[in-house]
Amino acid sequence: MSLPVLSLTALLIAILISCVSRINVGFLSIAFALIIGVVFGGMKVQEIVAGFPASLFLTLVGITLLFSQARVNGTLEKLAYLSVKLARGNPGMIPIIFFALALILATIGIGNIAAMALLAPIALAVGEKAGVTAFLMAIMLGNGANAGGLSPFAPTGIIANDLMAKIGLIGFEWRNYFNTLIPQSFVAFAGYFALGGLKLFTRGGDSTAPAVEEGIEPFTTKQKLTLAVIAALVASVVILRVDITLGAFIGAAVLTLARVADEEEAVKVMPWGTILMVCGVTVLIALMGKTGGMELFTSLLAKFSTTRTVTAVIAFVTGVISVYASSSGVVLPAFLPTVPGLVARLGGGDPLAIASSINVGAHLVDLSPLSTLGALVLANVPPSEDRAVLFNKLMIWGLSMCVVGAVVCFVFFGLLL
């Protein structure tokens, strides 16, 4: 078996394993890369290890450590509870507020998964008091988190932008962010209003907001410092163009020295599994680039696409895989590197449109109960909800988003972009 076929087969096996098990395929991907490169390709270990994305690793560690401290010391949780008062007792506004809150938190750097983990228990508890179903709350919360997930400050956005920079798509960080935010928001609000959100506005007010706000104390000095450091990071990166890795580590160091949170606990809640998964799969992808496996993978994708349909096809394929596998850890590292080859083999196409379709298609399906965001909803479902019924609704929603994602990406990035 040739090296291109071996390396592509290893990637496909890693994707399959990530779909059917909870094994971290990052470790497997590094092992596959070393075995194929050294044993079958005659390469040196140093050549394989050179594919490890050290810069990306440091950026993810810095930004996630900073926001882990903000989670551990209760700053973000308190911010979420205080935001509920904006509903002014209107149950229809509560999911919209949590959509906005998830969007904002994901955008400033906490990321989509962390935002969901933080807000799901609060949102579902508040929703139960207000008579909002867990399914409707999940649609708004999950899509809100994903709408902000590709921010240049967020882990998934950092991963996507790093991968896109390697294929020549440089300087599109904010455009990439809005290319994800707009379709995700469109799907969220369309689904919310179509599936019962409008009825919530006709029920009148209730006492939800006052009940939630009872017992919430003002921000402590440590929490105020945490908010100040986060604000300073965002401002320095956006206005002063400070490197985000540098800014994140300085911010994390300030919070550590100020002892605003339990450092050991903050390190524990960092998403180490995702970080190692992304870096490990990237090592295998780098090997594929050296052995010709990436060209083979690209040629297979090109057989099912044309310049007109490629945005829809790539969104559908990434969506189907992402229903079962990690969007940021597996799908993005596997598919974003194929963009230049796809454009070349198809004889044209917009690389940014194809990359955006991969990003959107992979994330629209994330409310599947087999994905992290959907699983977080099920883990926090209130007693009044039937867990089995909610599982089925989330599964149907996730699978339907494969088709919806294809249509949305065809329209947004094939016709409008």
Q: Assess whether pLDDT exceeds 80 at residue 338.
A: yes
pLDDT at residue 209 in the model: 45
Q: Assess whether pLDDT exceeds 90 at residue 355.
A: yes
pLDDT at residue 208 in the model: 47
Question: pLDDT-based confidence at 213, cuts 50/70/90?
Answer: low
pLDDT at residue 210 in the model: 43
Task: Report DSSP state, residue 309.
Answer: T
pLDDT at residue 414 in the model: 86
Alpha-carbon gap, residue 304 to 310, rounded angstroms: 8
pLDDT at residue 19 in the model: 83
pLDDT at residue 212 in the model: 52
Q: Assess whether pLDDT exceeds 60 at residue 399.
A: yes
Which of the residue ranges 170-179, 203-212, 269-278, 375-384 has the most confident prediction, judged by mean pLDDT?
170-179
- Each residue's pLDDT tens digit, 21-78: 888 899 999 999 999 999 999 999 999 999 999 999 999 999 999 999 998 999 988 8
Helices (H) and strands (E) in the chain, counts: 23, 0
Average the pLDDT over each of 16-30, 90-104, 220-234, 328-342 and give the range with the smallest value. 16-30
Q: Assess whether pLDDT exceeds 70 at residue 272.
A: yes
Biggest CA-to-CA distance, the chain: 71
- Taking the alpha carbons of 281, 30, 162, 43 in that order, is the dihedral positive or negative? negative
Which of the residue ranges 5-9, 197-201, 377-381 has the most confident prediction, judged by mean pLDDT?
5-9
DSSP string across 286-297: HHHHHHTHHHHH
Q: Between 417 and 276, where is the model more confident? A: 276
Question: pLDDT-based confidence at 207, cuts 50/70/90?
Answer: very low
Percent of the chain with pLDDT over 70: 96
Question: pLDDT-based confidence at 133, cuts 50/70/90?
Answer: very high
Supply φ then ψ for residue 145, to 5 degrees.
Answer: -65, -45
Q: Assess whether pLDDT exceeds 90 at residue 136.
A: yes
Q: Between 216 and 320, where is the model more confident? A: 320
Q: Assess whether pLDDT exceeds 80 at residue 283.
A: yes
pTM: 0.86
Torsion from C-alpha of 399, 195, 190, 178, nearest 10 degrees: -60
Question: pLDDT-based confidence at 337, cuts 50/70/90?
Answer: very high
User: Are the CB atoms for 183 and 311 separated by under 8 Å?
Assistant: no
Q: Assess whether pLDDT exceeds 80 at residue 416.
A: no
Q: Is 159 exposed, middle or buried (0-12, 13-18, 19+ CB in 10 A)?
A: buried
